[in-house]
Amino acid sequence: MRQSVNSTLSVDLTNCDREPIHIPGLIQPHGVLLVLRPDLNIVQVSHNVSALIGRQPQELLGQPLAVLLPPEQIDMVQQCLIGDFECVNPLDISVEFKDQLLRFDGIVHCCNDLVILELEPRQINSKNDFFQFHQRVKGTITKIQKAPTLLEMCKVVVKEVQKITGFDRVMVYRFDAEGAGVVIAEDHVETMVPYLGLRYPATDIPKQAKQLYTLNWLRLIPDSTYEPVALVPENAIDDRPTDLSLSVLRSVSPLHLEYLKNMGVQASMSISLIQDQKLWGLIACHHSEPRYVPYTVRTICEFVGQVMSVELATKESHEDLDYKMALKSLQGKFVESLSHSQSFLEGLVQLNSSLLDLVGATGAVVCAGEQVICIGQTPPESELPALRDWIKTNIQHNLFESQALSTIYPPAEAFKDIASGLLALEISKVNQNYILWFRPEVFQTVSWGGNPNKPVEITADGEARLSPRKSFERWQETVEGCSVPWKLCEIEIVTELRSLIVGIILSQADEMAKINLELERSNTELDAFAYVASHDLKEPLRGIHNYSNFLMEDYGDVLHEDGVAKLQTLVRLTQRMEDLINSLLHYSRLGRTEISRQPTNLNDIVRQVIDTLTISQPHQPIEFRLPRPLPIIRCDRTQVNELFTNLISNAIKYNDHAEKWVEVGFIEADPKNQDTSSPEIFYVRDNGIGIPEKHLGRIFQIFKRLHAQDEYGGGTGAGLTIVQKIVERHEGKVWVESSSGGGSTFYFTLAAEAQL
C-alpha cells in the first residue's frame, strides 16, 4: 500500500497531519462492520461479511437487521442505542452460519445519525461478567494507587498490562511540551532491544492521530500485515464516507502500518493516557507476531489506562515532594532572615549559599542599584551589568527563565559553561533590584529512536512521497549550551519569594518612615523645649536677681552685714543659674542651626583662639606647641572656633603644672579604619591634671563636672558637651585618652566632606 501526496508546493514532515485517517472506507479484517440507519435497516457492510458470517453484502444491504439477528438480540442493540452504549458493550451476539451458531462480541456506537455495529468473533471460553473483570483488575488498581511516584506507577502499569495482554513489549510513552515522546517505562521480553529512554519526534504521531487517541481510550491492530477490507457500498448515504473515528475496526493509516513494519512490530495496541482532556501519553504495546486481544481484556486495559490517567495529577503533585518541602522550609528561613536585616542587599547576601540551595543553582547574583554581589559560580562581574539590562527588557511578570541562555542572549556563549541556565527575579525595576540564579552547562545526550529528521522520498514519476522512518536504531544527539531545566516547583518558590520580599520591603520602609517621623518630631520637640524652657526660666530668675538687688539698695542699712551677705549669695546663685540656662540654650541651638561649611584655615582659627585666651589670662605663662601647620578644611568657622576654644581653655584650666603646655596638631588616619571617614585626626594635648579612668565615660555629659565649683576656675560643665555636639554636626567623632595626673589628649575628626 502506498499513499502518495501530490504536492509541488511543499513537502515537509507535517504533511502527515493532513491525511484523513478517520474516513479510510476500509476496516481491519478481524471483524465485520455493519452501518445501520436509526430504524436498523442495513445501509453499508464490510466486504468480509461473506467470509465471517456467510452472507453476501447484497443479501444484507437495504434489509432490516432482523435478517441477521434474532429478535432478542435486536432488542439488545436497540436498548444499547437508548442508553450509554459504553456501559453495555460488548453485546453477546450470535449468528447462524452453516448450521453453526457463531458467537461474536458486538460493539455498537452511533456516529452522525448512523448506527455502527461491529462484530468481532468471540474467543472460546471467553466470559464477560463483571465478577471476572473485577477479579482481574482489582490487584492492578491497588498497585497503581500505591506506587509512590509517577515513574513507579508507570513501571507497575507496564508490568501489569504485559501480564494481562501478553504483548512482547509494553511501554509508557510520555509527550513533552514540544510533542516529542519519550519512553519512560518499559517491560519487554528479554530478547528485544530496550526502547527505554528513547525519544521520538512529534511528527511520529500526527495531529489527527493524536485527536483519535484522545477520542478512543484504546486502539488495537492485531496484525499489521492485514489486507484491508472495503465497505460496500463506498458511501453509506449521500456522498459522504462513513466516519469511522470511533470504530474499533477502523483501518490503519498505511504510513503507520509501514512504520510498524519498519519497527518489526506486527501487532500493536495503544491505551491513551489523558490529563485535562489532553493526551499526556500512551501505554504502547508491541508484539512481533499477530496478536488479537479480546474485547473484554481490552476493557480491562482501558480501565487501567483510565485509572492511571486519574492518578497522573496526584502522582505529579507528589513528585519531588521531599525536595518541595525542603525548598519551602528554606524559603521560610530566607524570609525570616530578610525581615531582620537592615537592607535587601545585606539580608540576601547574609544567606549566602542558601540563596543557591533555594533553587538548586550553582551561582547567584544580587543586584541592588549599581551594586552587584556574586555568590558561587557566576559569569564575570564585567558581564553582569549588560546581562541585567538585557533581562530588564526581556523579563515578563517579574520572572525570566531559560535553560539555554546563549541561544537567546548570544553574549552568554562566552560563559555558557557556568551560566547556561538562568532564572531571574525582578524585585524592583526602579531600584534595579534583581536576583539572578545560574546553572552550568550540562552536556546532554538525547537518544532518538532513529534519526528524527523524517526523509522524503522522490518516486520515479517525480512525486514526493512521505515515508515513515525505516531505522529505529538508537540515534544519539549531543545537546550543548543547555543546563538542567528549572523545575516548576523551583520557579514557583521564586515567584512566591518575590511577593514575600516585596512585603518585607514595604513594611520595613513603612516602619522606617514612621520611626524617622517620630524621631524628627521628638527632636524638634526637644529643641523647642530646651529653647522655650531656657527663655521662660530666665524671666523669673531675672526677677529674683533684680529684687534681691532692690532689697540691698533700698534696705541695706536695715539688713545689717549678715543679711546683705545672704542676699549677695542669692544674687550669685541667680547668676550661676543664668550661666547654666545659657549653656543649655546654646547647646540646643547648636543642634538646630544649619552648619555652613566654608574653607577655613585651621591655623588662623587656633591662632585666634590662643590670642583670645591669652589676653583674658595674661598672668598665666603657657607654652603653645604647634608641631606642624594645620590643614585648610571646609567647616563651620564659628563652631570650629568654639570647638578649639573649649578644648584649649580646658587644657589651660585643668592644669596645675608650673610649666603648662598645650599642643594642637593632627595625625593621618588609617584609611583601612572604617570608623573615620576623615583623613586627619586632630588632637589637643596638655600636660594637665588628666582625667581618672572611671570618669572618662561621663565627661561629655552635659553639666557633668568633675571638680568643685570654685576649683579650676569653675564653669557650667557644658564645654565638652558642646565640643561633642559640634563634632557630631560635622559628622565626626571625638574621644579622649587620659590618665589621672598624666595629661589628656582629645582627638576628633571632621568628616570626609570637610576636604577641600
Which of these ranges, 31-39, 76-84, 546-554, 704-712, lies near another protein under the rule CB under 8 A?
546-554
- The H or E element spanning position 130 is helix 130-146
- Tell which one of 568, 575, 596, 620 touches another protein (CB under 8 A): 575
Nearest to 246 by CA among 214, 205, 273: 214
What's the closest the beta carbon of residue 647 comes to another protein, in angstroms?
24
Element (H, E) at 9: none
8 A C-beta contact, residue 501 and residue 338: yes
Asked if residue 264 binds another protein (CB under 8 A), the reply is no
Q: How far is the CB of 554 from another protein (least distance, A)?
A: 9
Choose which of 547, 661, 683, 735 interacts with another protein (CB under 8 A): 547
Closest CA to 363 of 344, 383, 343: 383
- Rounded to a whole number of angstroms, the minimum distance from the CB of residue 578 to another protein is 5
Helices (H) and strands (E) in the chain, counts: 18, 29
Taking the least distance from each CB to another protein, the nearer of 729 and 733 is 729
Asked if 487 is part of the footprint of another protein (rule: CB under 8 A), the reply reads no
Q: Looking at the DSSP assignment, which residues form a beta bridge with residue 279?
A: 274
Which regions of 257-345 does DSSP assign to beta strands (E)?
267-275, 278-287
Q: Closest CB to another protein among 190 and 539?
A: 539
How many whole angstroms separate alpha carbon 249 and alpha carbon 252? 9
Write each residue from 218 to 257 as x if it is in contact with another protein (CB under 8 A), else as -, in one continuous string. Answer: ----------------------------------------
Contact flag: residue 626 with another protein (CB under 8 A): no
Give whichever of 213 and 587 is closer to another protein, judged by the CB atom. 587
Residue 545 touching another protein (CB under 8 A): yes
549 near another protein (CB under 8 A): yes
546, three cell numbers: 533684680
133 in contact with another protein (CB under 8 A): no
CA–CA gap between residue 316 and residue 147 (Å, rounded): 12
What is the smallest separation between the CB atom of 577 and another protein, expressed in angstroms? 9
In three state form, how does the secondary structure of 637-703 look? HHHHHHHHHHHHHHHHHCCCCCCEEEEEEEEECCCCCCCCCCCEEEEEEECCCCCCHHHHHHCCCCC
> Whole-number minimum distance, CB 713 to another protein, in Å?
19
Sheet with 218-221, side-by-side order of all strands: 218-221, 267-275, 278-287, 169-175, 181-188, 199-200, 444-449, 474-479
How far from chain centre, in Å, is Cα 168? 44
Q: Which stretch binds another protein (CB under 8 A): 115-123, 333-341, 509-517, 572-580?
A: 572-580
Contacting another protein (CB under 8 A), which of 589, 607, 660, 705? 589
Nearest distance from residue 547's CB to another protein, in Å? 7
Q: Which three cell numbers stand for residue 506?
A: 514595604
* Vertex 11: Cα angle to 7 and 16 (nearest 5): 95
Per the rule left: phi > 0, alpha: psi between -120 and 50, beta: everything else, 365 is beta
- The conformation of residue 450, written as its DSSP 8-state character, comes to S
- For another protein, the binding residue among 152, 223, 316, 578 (CB under 8 A) is 578
Residues 6 or more apart from 588 whose CB is under 8 A from it? 526, 527, 530, 531, 534
Rg of the Cα atoms in the chain: 48
Q: Which is nearer to another protein, 258 or 636 (CB)?
A: 636
Task: Kindly identify the residues of this chain, within the stretch 144-173, that bind another protein according to CB under 8 A.
Answer: none
According to CB under 8 A, which one of 142, 350, 394, 546 is a site residue for another protein? Answer: 546
Binding residues for another protein, total number by CB under 8 A:
20
Stretch that binds another protein, among 263-271, 513-521, 545-553, 668-676 (CB under 8 A): 545-553
Q: Does 540 bind another protein (CB under 8 A)?
A: yes
594 versus 668: smaller Cβ distance to another protein: 594
CB of 645 to another protein, least distance (A): 18
Q: Which range of residues in 236-244, 333-341, 394-402, 542-550 is near another protein by CB under 8 A?
A: 542-550
Q: At its nearest, how many Å lie between another protein and the CB of residue 348?
A: 47
Cα 307 to Cα 273: distance, rounded to the nearest angstrom = 9
Alpha carbon distances (Å) from 565 to 80, 543, 552, 556, 708: 131, 19, 10, 10, 21
Residue choice 134, 146, 521, 542 for contact with another protein (CB under 8 A): 542
> Is residue 595 within the footprint of another protein (CB under 8 A)?
no
Closer residue to another protein, CB minimum distance, 320 or 579 = 579
State in angstroms the smallest separation of the CB of 632 from another protein: 26
CB closer to another protein, 225 vs 575 = 575
Angle subtended by helix axes 488-592 and 719-729, to nearest 10? 130
Choice from 384, 399, 585, 626 touching another protein (CB under 8 A):
585
What does the per-residue mask of binding to another protein show for 389-408, with x meaning CB under 8 A? --------------------
* Residue of the chain from 541, 559, 573, 669 that contacts another protein (CB under 8 A): 541
Nearer to another protein, 250 or 729 (CB): 729
Contact stretch for another protein (CB under 8 A) within 303-311, 383-391, 541-549, 696-704: 541-549
Q: Which is nearer to another protein, 132 or 546 (CB)?
A: 546
Instruction: Return the H-helix or E-strand segment holding 148.
Output: none
DSSP classification of residue 546: H
Task: List all residues 6 or more positions away from 387 whose beta carbon is below 8 Å from its beta carbon.
Answer: 379, 409, 411, 412, 436
Minimum distance of another protein from residue 572's CB (angstroms): 11
Say whether 274 sits in a helix, a strand or coil: strand
Which letter, b or e, does each residue of 560-581 get, where b requires 16 or more Cβ atoms within 10 Å of its Cβ? Answer: eeeebeebeebbeebeeebebb
**CA-wise closest residue to 706 among 642, 651, 654:** 654
Determine contact, residues 183/197, Cβ cutoff 8 Å. yes
Q: Is the dihedral of CA 100, 101, 107, 109 positive or negative?
A: positive
Q: In which residue are the cell numbers 495503544 written?
A: 270
The residue range among 143-151, 547-555, 693-701, 728-736 that interacts with another protein, by the rule CB under 8 A, is 547-555
CB of residue 756 vs another protein: minimum separation in angstroms? 27
Q: Which is nearer to another protein, 475 or 531 (CB)?
A: 531
Q: Examine residue 539 and tell whether it contacts another protein (CB under 8 A).
A: yes
Quote the distance between the C-alpha of residue 182 and its chain's center: 27
Select from 574, 583, 716, 749 the one that contacts another protein (CB under 8 A).
574
Q: Does position 583 bind another protein by CB under 8 A?
A: no
Nearer to another protein, 589 or 634 (CB): 589
Task: Return the number of the residue (243 or 527) whose C-beta is nearest another protein.
Answer: 527
Is residue 469 close enough to count as binding another protein by CB under 8 A?
no
**CA atoms of 543 and 539, how far apart (whole Å):** 6
Smallest separation, CB 750 to another protein (Å): 23
550 binds another protein (CB under 8 A): yes
Chain residues 508-537 in contact with another protein, contact rule CB under 8 A:
531, 535
Binding site for another protein (CB under 8 A): 531, 535, 538-543, 545-547, 549-550, 571, 574-575, 578, 585, 589, 593
